[in-house]
Structure 1
Amino acid sequence: MRRAPDGDAVHGDPGGDRRIYDGVPDVTPIRDSKQPRGPVLVFPANSWSVFVRTLKNDA
């Protein structure tokens, strides 16, 4: 999964797209693009970076 600027959709999940937002200090908010008023997951930015790096290393 890649980090998309300004809430662009991140594709590749057969269950739907996720939107990952840049520009929010110290956190990485993610939501389901098909439910714009639905819940948002918020990760500390450093934890998100470790998560993505781990996925890349395991691929």
Structure 2
Amino acid sequence: MDPQPCCGGGPARLGASFGARTPVELIAAFTDALTDPAPAASTPSDPYEPLRQSAWQPPGHRG
């Protein structure tokens, strides 16, 4: 994907094309990234936090 300048010197336009055999999950991930970008890298992220908030324990955990 290469940004192309828009007519009149406006913001760059992006283009992407997908073939007929492109998995729908890949297209969905692409469009999701455009409409809802990831938080800044400086934002701490813990993928297990929602599980901990629900008092989830891993299988076999003795606690």
State TM-score, norm by structure 1. 0.27
Q: Which has the higher contact order (CA 8 A, sep 6+)?
A: 1
Greater Cα radius of gyration, structure 1 or 2: 2
State TM-score, norm by structure 2. 0.26
Structure with greater strand share of residues: 1
